[in-house]
């Protein structure tokens, strides 16, 4: 009995410990697997611009406060929410601790850090004023993020309304109009053309929502497949040099969003050039970075021509004067900056001007889009409703035609 009484209390404790051990082991292995996945993803991870802007501003503040670079990176690594970005910061910190420079460490993640950031870090290390240059980079990134958010917010409302309208129209065509079609079938007379067209469209769409018929009749599924492959073909085409040039020219000539895209590209060109030149980056390297950061084939060609012209002793304004993509105001401002030795200052003023123009254009579009969408929905949905009630309005004539 003594043996039983002494052994029984120990049994539950040992069983609970044995049950906890596999759970802890499973959680540890799961955490290790996630960490390895993050490390694998870090090699080709592109850091989003907004967290990169916040990181740059915080790093500049820590360095300006006198904190060493390694300690600053360690502090930012601990508070980083993005797990992949955290892995990148850890690897960069370990490289610097092993004796590498900051620029050499971040070069091992070329897809994570843009070329502008890497070149600015190199310029900061060469001048010994890394904190100040990082502040300029942070300001540039923040202005780019604000501009992107403004454009996206202006586009979000119309896209949401158009998407809702598409859903509403499909519901009308698939579920409401067939009810009217059955009712009109008893009239035995020819329906008005708008009504007949709506019924034909409804009959075309209905098989997409009927499972037995979706594989035997032409339906919306076929259209979706065609659109998918068309989109893939378009993406493949626009990845080629000629395709990119065609797409950029198409966007540039678009009626409303073309001028807006043009102003954004010019603002980015001027802002990037001014930021790099003020940080001490060589002009040919500056043009190379501006070209890759622009995302526009027109600016890439212009930067290539400017680099060749400068190598031969020419000036930037000479190329801008012969390129129709750049407005006359920008050409005169750059020429004035060359005469006073302040091209980067003039470029910064031009960028401010285009940013103001973009803000005004986005505000105007935002104020105009709402009434235009209301009119569009009123005409479109109202037209569908009117087309379906036309036979009812003309019921006397339709029924009279049977006699």
What CATH code is carried by the domain that includes residue 274?
1.20.81.30
Is 352 part of a structural domain of the chain? yes
The DSSP 8-state label assigned to residue 191 in this structure reads: P
Q: For residue 238, what pLDDT is reported?
A: 84
* 231 and 272 within one domain: yes
* pLDDT recorded at residue 7: 46
Rounded Cα distance between 226 and 219, Å, is 12
Specify the pLDDT at position 24: 55
Is 167 found in the same domain as 104?
Answer: no
Domain shared by 344 and 202, yes or no: yes
Q: Do 79 and 180 sit in the same domain of this protein?
A: no
Tell whether 105 is covered by a domain.
yes
Is residue 132 domain-resident? no
> Are 78 and 192 contained in the same domain?
no
pLDDT at 91: 92
Both 198 and 157 in one domain: the answer is: yes
Does 148 lie in the same domain as 105? no
Q: Are the C-beta atoms of residues 84 and 42 closer than 8 Å to each other?
A: yes
pLDDT at 59 exceeding the cut of 90: yes
Distances (CA, A) of 265 to 259, 271, 355, 368: 10, 10, 10, 23
* CA 35 distance to own-chain centroid: 27
Q: If you write DSSP's letter for every residue of 35-99 in order, what string do you get?
A: HHHHHHHHTT----HHHHHHHHHHHHHHHHTT--HHHHHHHHHHH---HHHHHHHHHHHHHHHTT
Q: Is residue 97 part of a domain?
A: yes
Residues 70 and 165 in one domain: no
d(CA 270, CA 260): 16
CB 270 within 8 A of CB 348: yes
pLDDT for position 86: 92
Mean pLDDT, residues 393-400: 58
Q: Are residues 212 and 91 located together in one domain of the fold?
A: no
Chain centroid offset of residue 1 CA: 75
Percent of the chain with pLDDT over 70: 85
What total of structural domains would you count in the chain?
A: 2
Domain extent at residue 69: 49-113
Domain presence at residue 25: no
Domain assignment of residue 88, yes or no = yes
68 shares its domain with 201: no
Residues 164 and 62 in one domain: no
Q: Are residues 53 and 175 located together in one domain of the fold?
A: no
d(CA 1, CA 98): 66
Q: Is the model's pTM score more than 0.75?
A: no
pLDDT at 367: 78
| Last residue within a domain, chosen from 113, 129, 157 | 113
Token pair listed for 286: 């500056």
Whether 27 is in a domain gets the answer no
In a domain, 36, yes or no: no
Q: Determine which of 64-78, 180-194, 237-251, 295-309 has the lowest per-residue pLDDT on average.
A: 180-194
Contacts of 18 (CB under 8 A, 6+ apart): none
Contact present, 248 and 297 (Cβ < 8 Å): yes
Tens-place pLDDT, residues 304-359: 999 999 988 888 888 888 888 999 989 999 999 988 888 889 998 998 899 888 88
């Amino acid at each position: 009995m003594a043996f039983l009484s002494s052994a029984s209390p120990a049994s539950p404790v040992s069983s609970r410990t044995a049950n906890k051990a596999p759970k802890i082991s499973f959680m540890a292995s799961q955490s290790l697997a996630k960490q390895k996945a993050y490390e694998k993803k870090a090699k080709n991870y592109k850091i989003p611009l907004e967290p990169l802007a916040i990181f740059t501003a915080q790093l500049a503040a820590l360095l300006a406060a006198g904190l060493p670079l390694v300690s600053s990176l360690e502090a930012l690594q601990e508070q980083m929410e993005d797990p992949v970005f955290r892995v990148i910061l850890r690897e960069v910190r370990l490289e610097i601790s092993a004796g590498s420079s900051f620029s050499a460490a971040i070069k091992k993640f070329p897809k994570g850090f843009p070329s502008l950031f890497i070149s600015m870090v190199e310029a900061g290390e060469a001048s010994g004023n890394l904190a100040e240059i990082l502040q300029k980079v942070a300001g540039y990134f923040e202005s780019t993020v604000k501009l992107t958010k403004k454009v996206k917010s202006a586009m979000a409302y119309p896209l949401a309304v158009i998407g809702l309208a598409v859903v509403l129209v499909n519901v009308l065509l698939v579920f409401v109009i067939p009810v009217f079609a059955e009712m009109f079938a008893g009239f035995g007379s020819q329906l008005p053309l708008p009504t007949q067209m709506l019924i034909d469209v409804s009959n075309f769409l209905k098989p997409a929502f009927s499972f037995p018929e979706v594989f035997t009749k032409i339906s919306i599924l076929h259209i979706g497949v065609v659109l998918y492959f068309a989109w893939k073909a378009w993406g493949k085409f626009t990845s080629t040099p000629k395709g990119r040039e065609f797409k950029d020219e198409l966007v540039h000539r678009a009626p409303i969003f073309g001028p807006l895209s043009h102003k954004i590209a010019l603002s980015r060109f001027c802002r990037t050039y001014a930021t790099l030149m003020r940080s001490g980056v060589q002009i040919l390297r500056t043009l190379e970075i501006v070209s890759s950061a622009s995302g526009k084939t027109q600016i890439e060609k212009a930067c290539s021509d400017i680099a060749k012209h400068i190598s031969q002793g020419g000036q930037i304004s000479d190329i801008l004067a012969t390129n129709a993509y750049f407005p006359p105001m920008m050409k005169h401002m750059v020429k004035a900056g060359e005469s006073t030795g302040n091209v980067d200052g003039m470029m910064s003023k031009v960028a401010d001007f285009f940013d103001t123009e973009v803000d005004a254009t986005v505000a105007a579009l935002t104020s105009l889009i709402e009434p235009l969408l209301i009119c569009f929905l009123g005409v479109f949905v109202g037209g569908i409703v009117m087309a379906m009630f036309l036979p009812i309005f003309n019921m006397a004539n339709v029924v009279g035609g049977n006699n």
